Structure 1
Amino acid sequence: MDAFSPSEQYLQDFHQRRPGATSAAFSALPAKTPSQAYKSSYAVLAAVAQDLSSSSTILDVGCGDGHLLGLLDACSPQSKLIGLDLSRGELDVARRTLPSRILLLRERAQQMSLASKSIDLVVSHMALMLMDDIEAVLSEIHRVLVPNGRLAAIVGRVFMLGPVNDIFLDIFRPIAKVDLPSMPMGDRRTRSTEGWIELFEGDFYDPQIEDVDVAWQPTPGELWDALIETYDIDRLSVAARLKLKDTLIAETSSMLDSEGRLRTGWGLRFIQASAR
């Protein structure tokens, strides 16, 4: 395996310390595209597999603790399932919870050991936008997909939904400017619809991109517990995190509803394309 970049080293450390953080954040919250409601953002991807034949092979890139693989196994039990991730900690959890017939690989998505044209569907939940050299990742995904095979992924769009996000960013940015060491993570093109369309040019066709809103009404304490499971806040010093927490709770106190909750959520994108 090639030497890991600083961001890859950090992501492995984070997920060794906090395996299952991503599925804990997203698996129990309802997700909605402009046309349909789903039980979660993972369910958006699981639904794509329902149209495949029973002999299909599905690869989950950045599979984490295997939550999506479990959903895929439930809805398409005859399919061959493969999960790929960098984190040994996440894969250890996945191995303990998933059936042994599901193959798990600790590999970089930029250089997979899978045979060319061996995969019918590639899925990925909240991982592609974090990866180094996204062009190499997409090239590898194209290599392993059969002609006309599909890529379907959930990626980030905006951090939080609604006014809570504006308040958070106004507080976070000056703190991060002083306290957060620079560590580029992902390609800027993965942050926009236009960027994804550009990235898909050449190897993929029929790109489809939809906004996905994951609604959430947390208490301030629940909001903070979720935020400390995110990468940038995890990287802040203890003092900076405390300052962020105190200021955020104070600034959002006037936004609480009658039950002491905030109306917010996570802003995601559902991207799809087919391999040429």
Structure 2
Amino acid sequence: MNSAERFLQDFHQRRPGTTPPAFAELRLAGRGCSYDMLAATLDALRPDARVLDLGCGDGFLLERLARQHPRAQLLGVDMSATELQAAQRRLAGRGLLLEERAQSLSLASASIDAVLSHLALMLMSDIDQVLQEIHRVLVPGGRLSAVVGREFLLGELGQHYLQVFRAAARRDQLAHLPLVDPRAQSERGWRELLSQHFTGLHFEELDLPWTPTFEELWNSLGDTYDLDRLTPANQRLMKNELHDATEHLQASDGTLSTGWGLLLIQARAV
């Protein structure tokens, strides 16, 4: 386990369930939120399909799948015991939950019909091994569907955020923490990663609009990996700097126009 993976495990042990509140309410007209769009990729599967949520967190997606596919055999894998405890409470025994790493799954080969992952796959270290394991546990022709990050805070606001955060990181002398493999930051990189074990690759860029007030924006940023690494005093200073840098972007009602850039990936196991 490298330093990035240790950080992620510690973060989610301390702060389970941070992702669903941030993304469940961000919607595209007629398609819903990113969880809805990911779940929709299963519509053509047989009713009793075996579905694995990789990096399942607190079970938010699994709970949605349990409602939409009541006969499906659901499994969730996560490396955080705290997240899995929250998932167990949410699911009340509806699915099988496993505390293990995606790089070494205990599941039998060719035992899963579909693997889903919501904003987790791109954070997994040794991504080549992860994809090899996904291919191993999928049946031939089995489906991989994942929502991954593409752009953090869309538009001009995102540019100001990066400038302010980089200054804050320098003040705290934060060490470089490579949370994402460079190849997992572009469609071209994902094609390279997936081409060995998967076919029928399909990519869709999703820009989810968001118009928070500054306080809503800051409260949401408080649940991100970036701010978690800063000292409390530095966080307060960064908040003031970000407010000053983005004040001119506020609409008359006090809201800011931004959003989250995501990428929906679909593929089939060779």
Pairwise mapping of residues 69-84 of structure 1 onto structure 2 (< 5 A)? 69-84=62-77
Quick one: distance in 1 between partners of 2:244 and 2:102? 42
Residue equivalent to 2:113: 120
Post-superposition offset of 1:229: 0.6
Residue equivalent to 1:245: 239
Pairwise mapping of residues 93-132 of structure 1 onto structure 2 (< 5 A)? 93-132=86-125
Residue equivalent to 2:265: 271
Quick one: distance in 2 between partners of 1:31 and 1:114? 35
SS at the partner of 1:236? Answer: coil
When structure 1 is superposed on structure 2, of 242-251 and 52-61 the one drifting more is 242-251
Quick one: distance in 2 between partners of 1:111 and 1:249? 44
When structure 1 is superposed on structure 2, of 44-53 and 102-111 the one drifting more is 44-53
SS at the partner of 1:90? Answer: helix
Residue equivalent to 1:205: 199
Residue 218 (structure 1) aligned with residue 218 (structure 2) = no
List alignment gaps of at least 5 residues for structure 2: none
SS at the partner of 1:155? Answer: strand
Q: Give the AA of the match of 2:10.
A: D
Residue 140 (structure 1) aligned with residue 137 (structure 2) = no
Residue 43 (structure 1) aligned with residue 40 (structure 2) = no
CA contact (8 A) 1:63 1:84 kept: yes
**Aligned mate of 2:49, from 37, 48, 56:** 56
When structure 1 is superposed on structure 2, of 94-103 and 149-158 the one drifting more is 94-103
CA contact (8 A) 1:125 1:154 kept: yes
Percent sequence identity is 49
**Aligned mate of 2:170, from 152, 168, 177:** 177
Post-superposition offset of 1:178: 4.1
List alignment gaps of at least 5 residues for structure 1: none
Quick one: distance in 2 between partners of 1:57 and 1:264? 37
CA contact (8 A) 2:132 2:197 kept: yes
Post-superposition offset of 1:99: 3.3
**Aligned mate of 1:24, from 17, 21, 32:** 21
Residue equivalent to 2:225: 231
Q: Give the AA of the match of 1:43.
A: D
Quick one: distance in 1 between partners of 2:180 and 2:66? 29
SS at the partner of 1:51? Answer: coil
Q: TM-score, normalised by structure 1?
A: 0.94
Superimposed CA distance per residue, residues 187-213 of structure 1 (whole angstroms, 9 cap, x where no aligned partner): 110000100000011110111111111
Superimposed CA distance per residue, residues 239-267 of structure 1 (whole angstroms, 9 cap, x where no aligned partner): 22122110111111111112111111111
Q: Give the AA of the match of 1:217.
A: T
When structure 1 is superposed on structure 2, of 9-18 and 187-196 the one drifting more is 9-18
Superimposed CA distance per residue, residues 50-99 of structure 1 (whole angstroms, 9 cap, x where no aligned partner): 11101210000000000000111111110100000011111110000103
Q: TM-score, normalised by structure 2?
A: 0.96
SS at the partner of 1:194? Answer: helix
Count, aligned residues: 269
Pairwise mapping of residues 140-179 of structure 1 onto structure 2 (< 5 A)? 140-179=133-172
SS at the partner of 2:114? Answer: strand
Superimposed CA distance per residue, residues 17-59 of structure 1 (whole angstroms, 9 cap, x where no aligned partner): 2111001111121147xxxx42211111110111110121000
CA contact (8 A) 1:133 1:186 kept: no
Post-superposition offset of 1:109: 0.2
Quick one: distance in 1 between partners of 2:170 and 2:149? 22
CA contact (8 A) 2:66 2:94 kept: no
Post-superposition offset of 1:275: 0.3
When structure 1 is superposed on structure 2, of 115-124 and 252-261 the one drifting more is 252-261
CA contact (8 A) 2:168 2:234 kept: yes
Q: Give the AA of the match of 1:202.
A: Q
Q: Give the AA of the match of 1:23.
A: P
Question: Considering only aligned residues, what root-mean-square deviation do their CA atoms show, in Å?
Answer: 1.2
